[in-house]
Structure 1
């Protein structure tokens, strides 16, 4: 069985700018939250995102998927667990599970391509970073969850 521990947990407090007129987090904000969680995951594993740049690579998002489960609201504290889903030669897929006080609000994944910064094309993930990611267990594709009743 795959290890369910996240590689990193990112927390973000929902601001008014993240919400629609009803005070509920707008769907478009989860992509921003997940991208911030990816950057913070890289920082937690490597010490700095600039470590990738020192190797002449950057991660470029190639594909994303988000499933909305329950609303999050202004001033909620989102907890985003980040997991390594797949690790290829030039690609990395991270899974994200966002909750508020244990209630799932969104789940998703982003597939990144390791892009060589000087030549602007797919390039193998640097061995140093690959070793760090391989220490984190690759998780199986999440099982679809039934969303609990909306919070009031």
Structure 2
């Protein structure tokens, strides 16, 4: 899914309670992992999520999609990688790859919309963040 390079890589270890009765990570937890990594992306752009909010903008998920390629289990060590697929005026598509070692176990993309913190209406991102995202977008 795309030829983007990761902007962030977040390691994690699967916790027991994240698995279903089959012993496999419950599918919705992969999106929770992506959400955790999205805060790392905010840190890469602004220093922290709080610093982003202080600039008057926030990010909301408008669309989420993952393709599951291999099951993960308790105590697996994963790395969630996020990279820029496309930058729009008030939105962006962030590519997702989740690896266990060298094995790609899930991939997909989320579409995020930039919003103003005062009314949560769509707004362009700060120009410095937009420039970083544009540089990371595949040509």
TM-score (norm 1): 0.84
Where does the alignment leave 5 or more consecutive residues of structure 2 unmatched? none
Q: Extract structure 1 runs of 4+ deviating beyond 2 A.
A: 2-5
Aligned match of 1:110: 110
Alignment of 1:124-143 (within 5 A): 124-136=124-136, 138-139=137-138
Distance 1:22 1:8 in 2: 31
Specify the SS of the correspondent of 2:72. Answer: coil
Distance 1:65 1:117 in 2: 25
Which protein shows a greater Rg? 1
Shift of 1:67: 0.5
CA deviation string 1:65-124 (max 9, x = no partner): 110100011000111111101111100111110010111111111101101111221011
Aligned positions, number: 138
> What is the Cα-based RMSD across aligned positions, in Å?
1.6
Counterparts in 2 of 1:117 and 1:45: CA distance versus 1, 3 Å: closer
Distance 2:3 2:24 in 1: 32
Aligned match of 2:34: 34
Alignment of 1:45-64 (within 5 A): 45-64=45-64
**1:122 lines up with 2:106 in the alignment:** no
Shift of 1:56: 0.7
Where does the alignment leave 5 or more consecutive residues of structure 1 unmatched? 141-152
CA deviation string 1:30-58 (max 9, x = no partner): 11011111111221332111222122111
**1:73 lines up with 2:73 in the alignment:** yes
